[in-house]
A and B are shown apart, each in its own frame.
Chain A
Amino acid sequence: MQFNKSTSPYLHNTRDIPTVMRLVLLALLPGTIAYYYFFGWAILINITIACITAVICEALMLALRNRPLLFLKDYSAILTACLLALALPTLAPWWLIVLACFFAIVAGKHLYGGLGYNPFNPAMIGYVVVMVSFPQYMTQWLLPDIDLSLIQTLQLQFQGITPVSMTLDSITSATPIDSIKTGLSLDLPLSQITSSSLFGAVGGAGWEWIASGFLLGGVWLLYKDIITWHIPAGLLATLALMAAIFYIVSPEHYSNPAFQLFSGGTMLTAFFIATDPVSASTTPRGKIIYASGIGLITYIIRTWGGYPDGIAFAVLLMNMTVPTIDYYTRPRVFGVKR
């Protein structure tokens, strides 16, 4: 009898790339639901715009590069789109999201060779492009106590029409991190700055719950062995340590570690963005160094830099160091002397 020949091994587990991506998307749910709960329709609109743009861009690029369209089924473009939608300001105009997604998928991913070949995190490329190009729109964060209907949100995002009796300034504000920075530059004491309605118990009002949602999803990813502990632990620990040092020295001028962890994009980055395997370090020790670098740079930019949240820059900067980190952090091979 004749048989088909192949090479060992002849067993394979069932976890393939689409499965991994789907699990990551699933893990984004708690945070997204919290986002919707506190800020309404905008996030769902943003995710929809981002996903449609990303899938179109992905399909076009695959066609242009003569790649099989089955890559569309890997969910990687959808994941990039969702991360971008969650990172961009709540009331970002539609074209800003489209632009960010376009750059993420086309420049950040496919111009480097597509899935698996991008040295930089595509979502962060898209984010930084619009942050640098359109800084004025990057502050359109919806205030937590404003209630907008679906129609009002759509009108605002697509036509720039604010609801009657409201101005854009009256419903949006800078992020809590940004307002601390502005306040401190005006020599206001920290306790006075954080007493505004923008702030919650530990982080920003509402935002701390969204962050908790991402934390929950991230822990689930750890449990499911999709990510390892190294990157989230390294990032959060470094950021908290930096914050703690300065907070102990001068609590009136530096925000506390809990605030740093539960505001801005910290949790989203620690569990979902910095852990993007393609652009992150791959060795166990390397992951810790890479993540600590992100934590450190984030704290520096947040505290002394010119941008409200330096996390995107921190990720991209550390992406650049990955080949070097990987080279010098190779684990000890079995049988090789310590």
Chain B
Amino acid sequence: MTDSQYKLWSFHGGLHLPGHKKMSTGQPIGKYFIPERLILPLQQNIGEPSEPIVSEGEYVLKGQLIARANGYISAPLHAPTSGTVSEITEQLIPHPSGLAATCIIIKSDGLDKWVQLSPHASYENMDPSALRNRIRDAGIVGLGGAGFPSFIKLNPGSRTSIDELVINAAECEPYITCDDMLMREHADEIIQGTLIMQHALHARQCLIGVEDDKPEALKVMSDAVKRLGHGQIKILAIPTLYPTGGEKQIIKVLTGKEAPSQGLPLDTGTVCHNVGTAAAVYQAVIHGRPLVSRIITLTGQGIKTPGNHEVLIGTPVNEFIEHNGGYHNRIGKLIMGGPMMGISLASDLVPVIKTTNCLLGQTQQEATDNNTVMPCIRCGACMDACPVNLLPQQLYWYAFARDMDKIQDYNLFDCIECGCCCYVCPSNIPLVQYYRFAKTEIWAQEREKKKSDRARNRHEFRLERLEKQKKERGERLRKKKAALNKSKSTDKKDNDKQQAIAAALTRVREKQKQHSVISKNTDNLTADQKKKIEDADKRRQQNNNEKVPSEEDSDS
């Protein structure tokens, strides 16, 4: 039963895209196979990469922790099957950059032997923080594609409770059907996982939004909700429109709330999780199983037998595809994720990671269609399609002109890179590429600015310090000088001393005078001698007179 009375909202723009969903929903989900070698990148989540705690040559069991979370925004990593850690080395990973990163390589022993698990029959009496820790320790990240550590989004933060927990089962991108198939086959797990999340968040209401192009899933889910939902959960069929599966978009559709520009849904009392994440939460909390596998849609015109398969995290893409039918010989492009937001792979020698929801093989022809780029004619088709209500034509104009101030003025950072503008552009302009360029450019500028700010601050601080030192030295000198001047003019004690010295000198002079008079044995001298003596006396007198004041001078 879907709740048809419930009011739905809508957002601006969006596209009705050809779904191509039927091609991969014909068969039930295929069981996983154990590849000989598993490649586990340490970074499979938003935030810090995990830290390996195993060493080369170590034997590990399925579900055993092999790398621990490093910091708050991080997720641990577990061995997807039993085997030996053969290497910890640089390997090609599925990333837009096409670069290599550190991975743990496990050589499987084919036994798939589980580690000792600690199941928990019920969650109701578990403390929310204990629940969050359990979910964290299971290495669960957002399985819709973003890969944000889920336990963080199960923390209501400063709020005591949140209004709505939204479970995103829109699966709006063409071709992808893994959530659809998961709902058809594991609806009970999803519902129980949702209830666990509700418990952790103290959510007042749970809303599960499913696009109405999935009637089978809607039916199964509605039945499961009736059986297990305790009246807490609503299943809502929402109109099929790309990109309804965007976090902020589905929240708007289901609750009418707009998460603030550059803010979080939590700011409006809403939390959104992917439907696959809900099932993983159930596995982790009730069965104690960490996240070691997931469901992937293998589809597209370039793939021989499209379908959905459970796959161990770390399975090399080439082996996975070969094992499930292989490529069609018209294959031209391999995309991880959907055709609107996925990343194009340069090589299939990369592993499946926690966020891999789809592998889409496009044909040569699809890959080369429509690539003559013409000038923008400002037709505004992009503006009409933009789900965020931006003006993509103006953003393009400013990105082209590298006017990074203006482009932020036009809310570049609210762009979710959904690709709607590109899809409709009659000039085939790679608009999203321009926005990515502008964003990275602005980030680089900001880093640069921070760096130069720091350098400038340091320089200014140094100048200030030098100035201060100079001032202090000047001050010290001035004080010293003043002190000396003061002592000369006003210090009484010093004055007395000087007077005493002067008196002593006078006494000495008097004494010398007397002495010179007494020692004059000059009674019987010739006039000439007398004159010479007189001259000498005069000189001595003069000398003495000059000497005393000069002594006083030098003293001051």
Chain A positions within 8 Å of B, measured between CB atoms, are: 1-17, 19-20, 70-71, 74, 114-117, 228, 277-278, 280, 282-283, 326, 330-337
Closest 4 CB pairs of A and B: A9-B419, A116-B375, A335-B261, A277-B379
Q: Is the CB of A333 within 8 A of B390?
A: yes
CB-defined contacts of B333 to chain A, threshold 8 Å: 3-4, 6, 10
24 interchain pairs (CB within 8 A)? A1-B331, A5-B344, A5-B345, A8-B419, A9-B341, A9-B423, A10-B362, A11-B423, A16-B427, A17-B377, A17-B427, A20-B379, A70-B372, A116-B375, A116-B427, A278-B377, A278-B378, A282-B378, A330-B410, A331-B391, A334-B11, A336-B260, A336-B411, A337-B260
Asked if B394 is at the interface of the complex by the 8 Å CB criterion, the answer is yes
Query: By DSSP majority rule, is chain B's interface helix, strand, loop, or mixed?
Result: loop
CB-defined contacts of A335 to chain B, threshold 8 Å: 248, 258-263, 388, 414
Question: Could you mark each residue 403-442 of chain B with 1 if its beta carbon is under 8 Å from any beta carbon of chain A, else 0?
Answer: 0000000110010010100111111101011001000000
Assuming the contacts A12-B422, A115-B377, A335-B261, asked whether A5 and B370 have C-beta atoms less than 8 A apart, the reply is no
B309-338, CB < 8 A from A: 318, 327, 331-335, 337
- Total chain B interface residues with beta-carbon distance under 8 A: 72
CB distance from B320 to the nearest CB of A (A): 13
| CB-CB nearest in chain A for B317 | A1
Asked if B367 is at the interface of the complex by the 8 Å CB criterion, the answer is yes
Q: Is the CB of A333 within 8 A of B374?
A: no
Question: How many residue pairs bridge A and B at CB < 8 Å?
Answer: 163
Q: Is the CB of A8 within 8 A of B394?
A: no
Asked if B308 is at the interface of the complex by the 8 Å CB criterion, the answer is no
Q: Is the CB of A116 within 8 A of B410?
A: no
- Report the bound CA distance from A3 to B359 in whole Å: 13
CB-defined contacts of B263 to chain A, threshold 8 Å: 335
Asked if B115 is at the interface of the complex by the 8 Å CB criterion, the answer is no
Asked if B73 is at the interface of the complex by the 8 Å CB criterion, the answer is no
Q: Is the CB of B370 within 8 A of A116?
A: no
CB-defined contacts of B61 to chain A, threshold 8 Å: none
Q: Is the CB of B394 within 8 A of A326?
A: yes
Asked if B185 is at the interface of the complex by the 8 Å CB criterion, the answer is no
CB-defined contacts of A334 to chain B, threshold 8 Å: 11-12, 248, 252, 258, 261, 387-389, 414
Q: Is the CB of A10 within 8 A of B335?
A: yes
CB-defined contacts of A16 to chain B, threshold 8 Å: 370, 372, 374, 426-428
CB-defined contacts of B339 to chain A, threshold 8 Å: 8-11
CB distance from B372 to the nearest CB of A (A): 7
CB-defined contacts of A326 to chain B, threshold 8 Å: 391, 394
CB-defined contacts of B346 to chain A, threshold 8 Å: 2-3, 5
CB-defined contacts of A278 to chain B, threshold 8 Å: 377-378
Q: Is the CB of B391 within 8 A of A330?
A: yes
CB-defined contacts of B424 to chain A, threshold 8 Å: 13, 15
CB-defined contacts of B48 to chain A, threshold 8 Å: none
- Report the bound CA distance from A1 to B378 in whole Å: 40
- Report the bound CA distance from A8 to B370 in whole Å: 14
- Report the bound CA distance from A17 to B422 in whole Å: 14
Determine which of B174, B347, B369, B378 lies in contact with A12 in the assembled complex, contact meaning CB atoms within 8 Å: B369
- Report the bound CA distance from A314 to B272 in whole Å: 51
Asked if B500 is at the interface of the complex by the 8 Å CB criterion, the answer is no
- Report the bound CA distance from A4 to B11 in whole Å: 35
Asked if B17 is at the interface of the complex by the 8 Å CB criterion, the answer is yes
Q: Is the CB of A13 within 8 A of B423?
A: yes
CB distance from B174 to the nearest CB of A (A): 7
Asked if B228 is at the interface of the complex by the 8 Å CB criterion, the answer is no
CB-defined contacts of B342 to chain A, threshold 8 Å: 8, 10
CB-defined contacts of A2 to chain B, threshold 8 Å: 346-347
Assuming the contacts A331-B389, A335-B261, asked whether A11 and B174 have C-beta atoms less than 8 A apart, the reply is yes
Assuming the contacts A1-B318, A282-B393, asked whether A277 and B248 have C-beta atoms less than 8 A apart, the reply is no
CB-defined contacts of A283 to chain B, threshold 8 Å: 383, 391
Question: Could you mark each residue 158-197 of chain B with 1 if its beta carbon is under 8 Å from any beta carbon of chain A, else 0?
Answer: 0000000000000000100000000000000000000000
| CB-CB nearest in chain B for A113 | B375
| CB-CB nearest in chain A for B384 | A228
Q: Is the CB of B428 within 8 A of A10?
A: no
Further pairs besides A5-B346, A14-B370: 16, Cβ < 8 Å: A3-B333, A4-B332, A4-B367, A7-B432, A8-B432, A9-B341, A10-B333, A10-B335, A11-B17, A16-B372, A20-B426, A116-B378, A277-B378, A326-B391, A335-B261, A335-B414
- Report the bound CA distance from A333 to B416 in whole Å: 12
CB-defined contacts of B341 to chain A, threshold 8 Å: 8-9
Q: Which of B98, B348, B379 has the most CB of A within 10 A?
A: B379
Q: Is the CB of A11 within 8 A of B344?
A: no
Asked if B231 is at the interface of the complex by the 8 Å CB criterion, the answer is no
- Report the bound CA distance from A203 to B411 in whole Å: 47
Q: Is the CB of A17 within 8 A of B426?
A: yes
CB-defined contacts of B327 to chain A, threshold 8 Å: 1
CB-defined contacts of B422 to chain A, threshold 8 Å: 9, 12
Q: Which of A11, A16, A228, A278 has the most CB of B within 10 A?
A: A11
- Report the bound CA distance from A3 to B345 in whole Å: 7
CB distance from A271 to the nearest CB of B (A): 15
- Report the bound CA distance from A216 to B223 in whole Å: 51
| CB-CB nearest in chain B for A227 | B379
CB-defined contacts of A17 to chain B, threshold 8 Å: 374, 377, 426-427
CB distance from B357 to the nearest CB of A (A): 14
- Report the bound CA distance from A3 to B317 in whole Å: 13
Question: Could you mark each residue 506-543 of chain B with 1 if its beta carbon is under 8 Å from any beta carbon of chain A, else 0?
Answer: 00000000000000000000000000000000000000
CB-defined contacts of B335 to chain A, threshold 8 Å: 8, 10
CB-defined contacts of A10 to chain B, threshold 8 Å: 333, 335, 339-340, 342, 344, 360, 362, 366-367
| CB-CB nearest in chain A for B421 | A9
Q: Is the CB of B419 within 8 A of A277?
A: no
CB-defined contacts of B501 to chain A, threshold 8 Å: none
CB-defined contacts of B360 to chain A, threshold 8 Å: 10
| CB-CB nearest in chain A for B410 | A330
Asked if B343 is at the interface of the complex by the 8 Å CB criterion, the answer is yes
- Report the bound CA distance from A117 to B427 in whole Å: 14
Asked if B380 is at the interface of the complex by the 8 Å CB criterion, the answer is yes
| CB-CB nearest in chain B for A2 | B347
| CB-CB nearest in chain A for B345 | A3
CB distance from B248 to the nearest CB of A (A): 7
Assuming the contacts A3-B333, A7-B432, A334-B261, asked whether A19 and B345 have C-beta atoms less than 8 A apart, the reply is no
Asked if B111 is at the interface of the complex by the 8 Å CB criterion, the answer is no
| CB-CB nearest in chain B for A7 | B433
CB-defined contacts of A330 to chain B, threshold 8 Å: 391, 410
- Report the bound CA distance from A117 to B379 in whole Å: 12
Q: Which of A2, A71, A333 has the most CB of B within 10 A?
A: A333
CB-defined contacts of B436 to chain A, threshold 8 Å: 7
Determine which of A11, A71, A333 lies in contact with B388 in the assembled complex, contact meaning CB atoms within 8 Å: A333
- Report the bound CA distance from A19 to B399 in whole Å: 27
Q: Is the CB of B348 within 8 A of A282?
A: no
CB-defined contacts of A7 to chain B, threshold 8 Å: 96, 344, 430, 432-433, 436
Asked if B477 is at the interface of the complex by the 8 Å CB criterion, the answer is no
CB-defined contacts of B369 to chain A, threshold 8 Å: 12
CB-defined contacts of A4 to chain B, threshold 8 Å: 332-333, 344, 367
- Report the bound CA distance from A21 to B372 in whole Å: 16
CB-defined contacts of B262 to chain A, threshold 8 Å: 335
Asked if B376 is at the interface of the complex by the 8 Å CB criterion, the answer is yes
CB-defined contacts of B347 to chain A, threshold 8 Å: 1-3
CB-defined contacts of B410 to chain A, threshold 8 Å: 330
CB-defined contacts of A15 to chain B, threshold 8 Å: 381, 424, 426
CB distance from B428 to the nearest CB of A (A): 7
Assuming the contacts A4-B367, A70-B372, asked whether A19 and B426 have C-beta atoms less than 8 A apart, the reply is yes
CB distance from A69 to the nearest CB of B (A): 13
CB-defined contacts of A12 to chain B, threshold 8 Å: 369-370, 422-423, 425, 428
CB distance from A19 to the nearest CB of B (A): 7
CB distance from A17 to the nearest CB of B (A): 5
CB distance from B415 to the nearest CB of A (A): 10
CB distance from A180 to the nearest CB of B (A): 36
CB-defined contacts of B334 to chain A, threshold 8 Å: 1, 3
